[in-house]
Structure 1
Amino acid sequence: MPTPLLLSRRSFLAGSAVAAAALAAGCGNEASARTDVFTAAFQGSGAGEGIDPGVNTLFIDEARMKSVYDGLFECDETMAPIPRLAESGEPNADGTRWRIALRDARWHDGRKFTSRDVLYTLGRVLGPAQKRPFIAASSLAQVDLPGCRAIDDRTVEIVLKEPSFEFLIALSVYGTKIVQDGAADFTRPVGTGPFVFRSFEPGRRFVATANEHYWDGKPGIGELRIVSAEADARVNAVRSGEIDYADNLTPSAHRTLAGGSDLDLVSTPNSGIYFFAMKTDRPPFDKPDVRRAVMRMFDRRELVKVALEGQGEVSNDVFGKGNQYYADLPQHEYDPDEAGRLLRRAGVRDLTFDLFTAPVVYGFVEAARLFADQAAACGARVNVVLGSKDSYYTDALKTGHLTMGQSGPLPIPNHFASRLLTTSPQNRTKWSDPEFDRLYTAAQATPEVEDRAAIYRTMHEILYDRGGFVFFGTTPWNSAARSGYQGLPAGVPNSHGWARFDRVTAR
């Protein structure tokens, strides 16, 4: 690290007192530490942060967990599964049993990684719920735990309750990183990942050192520090040299830093997916024609231009652009006349509804108010209701007729399973469609990729026609780093390449 906390201390402290304390604690005095210590700042969440891979979901949590743990599989840039702790995964003829060959790897305490660790992790996720629910419990609900077994130390057989030729996706998503057999205390976690845990203070900082015996190669930096910092603090700290890497910068912050000769900027396209969610289980959105009408009330180009500061691309009410199984359908356009015709066909006059949002992500409130104006031109009245940023995502599951959200990329089958089946735990649109559920089950039981893609396209077409999501824009993921490094993370969120620092080295 460079000499700590000099020129920009006042402006940095103004950005975030908590972050400043964390960064001050994390910086050393030796000029030579620059090549040994790498400090990355992410959006913080105070005491809500954690390092249990089964339950913690924040971006900063994921960054820490990527350094300590590995999954059997993780997602590549197209959200397709790639092997990590697993060397391969093969289904039987009907897709009800998967044989997973494991990599030769060791835990940080020197123990060998074996099939017992995999079975313990599955049992933990599918066992009794903790105070906070296990993230992957729904994704892995298809696992028939009593039928699973260790063939030997490096081969495990996972049995499913029903056929699934997409099961490797379920092993790739949040909440599926492998923990050590018997692990119950995650205050000092032991993993197989590229860095060995040293210390963690929620809301402040995490420190880990290089795993000299990492199965995928020794990291290029000796010590990784991940600190919590608000948006302004991240910008000020990377500009002044108090940190080496700042994650998730707004478009305006990215433009502000663009002129700095001592900074390297990374902008990964197609990374943030902005949406509105209609609750389809209640008036007025229980009528398909009302939902179709609302889809025509959005001027998506204007929303991207104004609310997202012009940094992004127009989306089209189809999730997962650029990913495996994406359906390229004709663009939904802003069409007040068609919106009016559909409302008349639905027998709805004087359409009025609440739009519940909060300033949790840049552009939310601006997009909400701009949409209210666009809907007014179509004869609809939208009441923008602001909630608390601290509890918004929990409140939005049950509050309002229309809500907002932002998602990182996900495998499309996982998006369907976690958000759009009748039993999905994160069903923000309260979508329940027997035909959709049946098609998802059929896709899982279909062996050939091309045939599954055709079924998924039909599911996209149903949602595009009468679903509850309006995906209006995709944004890049912006980050900045001090010059002098190579191998900086450049993957989309939720992919293997996002927030991985084991390939960072000094130039």
Structure 2
Amino acid sequence: MVTTYNRRGFLKISGIGLASAYLAACSVGGGSSTGADQALRAAFAQPINDLDPHGPSSVDEATLLAGRLIYDTLIRPVGEKLEPGIATAWEQPDPNTWVFTLREDVKFHDGSPLTARDVKASLERVKDADTAQSALWTSVTSVEATGEHTLTIRTEKPLGTMPVNLTLMFVLPADKMNDEGFFRKPIGSGPFKVESFTPSDQLVLGAFEHWNGKPKTASVTLPYIPETSSQITALRTGELSALWPVPPDQLRELDGAEGITLETVPSYVYYLNWFNCGRKPFDDPRVRRAMWKAVNVEEIVRNLFGKGAEVMTAPIPSTVFGHADQRPYPHDPEGAQRDLAEAGLGDGFSTSLMWFGETGPLADGLAQAMISDWAKIGVTVEPQNVEKAEWLRRLNAKEFDMELQTNTVTTGDADFTLGRLYDSGADRMGYRNPELDAILRQAHEDSDRERRAGLYRQACEIIWSDAVGIFPAALISTYGLRSSVAGFEPAPSNQPDLRGVTLEA
């Protein structure tokens, strides 16, 4: 049986939400209202340090923000839907084969045509890159340019997540993408072309005559402003046109400020506190559940984040496809102590918590609040606030007792987080569960949305009840906008589409 997808039909079977910026007009409040001479500036909480969409930073929010503007993908995330990108249609002649028909009018920024050969080279590059994105493509056995504008992808097993995975697979020019220095000023086919780039400092983009419409603004500048206070001041004084995400502890500074509006959207970003389930005493689920019961999650989230976060009800945010509400763990210190006694730890124990301060807003406060609650049940936790590079090394080597971090469900689909991180083969935190493995793999292979939702409901229940980690807070993204900004659409991915943004006089 051949399954064929076109624009209308595809919207019925898939849905995802859209996944550091400083948008300020060169002349805020008094410039031209036409896009031809408008220059936007934009500031995001994280620096853009790499424009390689297949490299080590391929799932970093800042790299993805830039990638959405510079490059194209076969399929595009638009709101909660998937839409054709440079692929106009696709079909499945059998469960392990996908055939894509590409647009014939797509050009790279240097004027060269984009063909199936470029898509093939890009997919093979990301598959072999050994990065977080590479894990999405392990089942791919071959990629063939079967025509100038036809691409065939074959997989070892059915890959039901093929369409949503392709929203992350950015296409680069095959003949140039491996040239030395290419990513200092890369060439894509997206709505903006790179004018200049200084890693962790500033990215300047110019509008490009894109197949899907030229942007309404002539240029976008994305500088990195490391100090939150400087970001807030710049927005208040009009040096910035927009700022996102506004940290929860800064909302009062902007709420009600003249000429500024705040827009919020639940995001794909959330906090998790993983236990090293392969290391005593956290190999015992009774201990893990006791640690969760000891933490007054609701009070901590309310007092620390206010309107900037919501208490999680599953191991993924409610914005993500595959989310299923779970029964909250009660704040029960006495019950936690009973659980520890049953596990042979009635006198408590000592352990450690690792995190890096820049992982997300108020990370230090969240860590200290949990450590304080654990102390009340006799568990002494050594705080280990380390540099990001050391945190990453220890995380990958599983050299931790507990670790706190933010995580982003980049595609808006549960497979990206649950399927990628909790399968025993991934071995990210020492947790192994063959039943969960079977559920996640079935959901990964199935293309039926309703069946996948049911499988992820089971997966959420297992991860939650086994207390693989504590899942305290899902962040709310708040965008601070000057009143001169028009056409700006907040996105849960923190990757807004800037093509339609203008500044009104």
Q: Which residue of 1 aligns with 2:68?
A: 66
Opposite residue 372 of structure 2, the aligned amino acid is: D
- Correspondence 1:281 to 2:282: no
- 1:255 Cα deviation from its structure 2 partner: 2.1
Opposite residue 364 of structure 2, the aligned amino acid is: V
For residue 387 of structure 2, give the secondary structure of its aligned residue in structure 1: coil
- Correspondence 1:233 to 2:257: no
Q: Which residue of 2 aligns with 1:154?
A: 149
Change (3 A) 1:373 1:190: same
- 1:342 Cα deviation from its structure 2 partner: 2.5
How far does the alpha carbon of each residue in 1:466-505 deviate from its partner, in whole angstroms, 9 at most, with x for none? 14221111121122222212111301116xxx23211102
CA distance in 1, matches of 2:74, 2:166: 7
- Correspondence 1:112 to 2:113: yes
For residue 262 of structure 2, give the secondary structure of its aligned residue in structure 1: strand
Change (3 A) 1:448 1:66: closer
How far does the alpha carbon of each residue in 1:354-406 deviate from its partner, in whole angstroms, 9 at most, with x for none? 11223212221111121122223333332222223564344444343111111
CA distance in 2, matches of 1:450, 1:30: 48
How far does the alpha carbon of each residue in 1:135-164 deviate from its partner, in whole angstroms, 9 at most, with x for none? 42111111113xx22232222110001112
Contact 1:307–1:364 (CA under 8 A) maintained in structure 2: no
- Correspondence 1:177 to 2:176: no
Contact 2:355–2:385 (CA under 8 A) maintained in structure 1: yes
Q: Which residue of 2 aligns with 1:388?
A: 387
Contact 2:266–2:477 (CA under 8 A) maintained in structure 1: yes
Residues 56-455 of structure 1 correspond to what in structure 2 (within 5 A)? 56-57=57-58, 58-78=60-80, 81-93=82-94, 95-104=95-104, 105-127=106-128, 129=129, 133-145=130-142, 148-173=143-168, 176-182=169-175, 183-184=177-178, 185-212=182-209, 214-230=210-226, 231-349=228-346, 350-360=348-358, 361-388=360-387, 391-397=390-396, 398-410=398-410, 411-424=413-426, 428-455=428-455
For residue 198 of structure 1, give the secondary structure of its aligned residue in structure 2: strand
Aligned residues: 468
Contact 1:42–1:234 (CA under 8 A) maintained in structure 2: no
Contact 1:40–1:246 (CA under 8 A) maintained in structure 2: yes
Change (3 A) 1:142 1:381: same
Change (3 A) 1:394 1:260: farther
CA distance in 1, matches of 2:327, 2:335: 16
Contact 1:297–1:378 (CA under 8 A) maintained in structure 2: yes
CA distance in 2, matches of 1:369, 1:29: 41
CA distance in 1, matches of 2:444, 2:31: 54
Structure 1 stretch displaced more, 28-37 or 283-292? 28-37
Contact 1:39–1:243 (CA under 8 A) maintained in structure 2: yes
Contact 2:419–2:441 (CA under 8 A) maintained in structure 1: no
Contact 1:121–1:181 (CA under 8 A) maintained in structure 2: yes
For residue 232 of structure 1, give the secondary structure of its aligned residue in structure 2: helix
CA distance in 1, matches of 2:102, 2:79: 23
Opposite residue 181 of structure 1, the aligned amino acid is: A
Residues 1-12 of structure 1 correspond to what in structure 2 (within 5 A)? none
Residues 28-39 of structure 1 correspond to what in structure 2 (within 5 A)? 32=31, 36-39=38-41
Change (3 A) 1:430 1:206: same
CA distance in 1, matches of 2:268, 2:280: 33
Contact 2:73–2:86 (CA under 8 A) maintained in structure 1: yes
Opposite residue 259 of structure 1, the aligned amino acid is: G
Change (3 A) 1:74 1:289: farther
Q: Which residue of 2 aligns with 1:473?
A: 473
For residue 112 of structure 2, give the secondary structure of its aligned residue in structure 1: coil
How far does the alpha carbon of each residue in 1:46-85 deviate from its partner, in whole angstroms, 9 at most, with x for none? xx7111111134433222222111222244555x644322
Change (3 A) 1:33 1:389: farther
- 1:314 Cα deviation from its structure 2 partner: 0.9
For residue 436 of structure 1, give the secondary structure of its aligned residue in structure 2: helix
Change (3 A) 1:480 1:194: same
Change (3 A) 1:162 1:141: same
For residue 100 of structure 2, give the secondary structure of its aligned residue in structure 1: strand
Change (3 A) 1:60 1:33: farther
Q: TM-score, normalised by structure 1?
A: 0.85
Change (3 A) 1:235 1:329: same
- 1:29 Cα deviation from its structure 2 partner: 12
CA distance in 2, matches of 1:196, 1:375: 51
CA distance in 2, matches of 1:264, 1:50: 31
- 1:412 Cα deviation from its structure 2 partner: 0.3
CA distance in 2, matches of 1:74, 1:345: 51
How far does the alpha carbon of each residue in 1:312-333 deviate from its partner, in whole angstroms, 9 at most, with x for none? 2111342131322211222222
Opposite residue 111 of structure 1, the aligned amino acid is: S
Contact 1:317–1:469 (CA under 8 A) maintained in structure 2: no
Contact 1:429–1:469 (CA under 8 A) maintained in structure 2: no
Change (3 A) 1:249 1:288: same
Opposite residue 210 of structure 1, the aligned amino acid is: A
CA distance in 1, matches of 2:26, 2:216: 19
CA distance in 2, matches of 1:90, 1:330: 40
CA distance in 1, matches of 2:170, 2:327: 38
Change (3 A) 1:207 1:455: same
CA distance in 2, matches of 1:357, 1:126: 29
Q: Which residue of 2 aligns with 1:54?
A: 54
CA distance in 2, matches of 1:365, 1:287: 27
CA distance in 2, matches of 1:471, 1:124: 34
Q: Which runs of 5+ in 2 are unaligned?
A: 1-19
CA distance in 2, matches of 1:430, 1:279: 6
RMSD over aligned Cα atoms: 2.7
CA distance in 2, matches of 1:467, 1:82: 36
How far does the alpha carbon of each residue in 1:273-307 deviate from its partner, in whole angstroms, 9 at most, with x for none? 11211111111111122122222222111111223
Q: Which runs of 5+ in 1 are unaligned?
A: 1-18
Contact 1:431–1:467 (CA under 8 A) maintained in structure 2: no
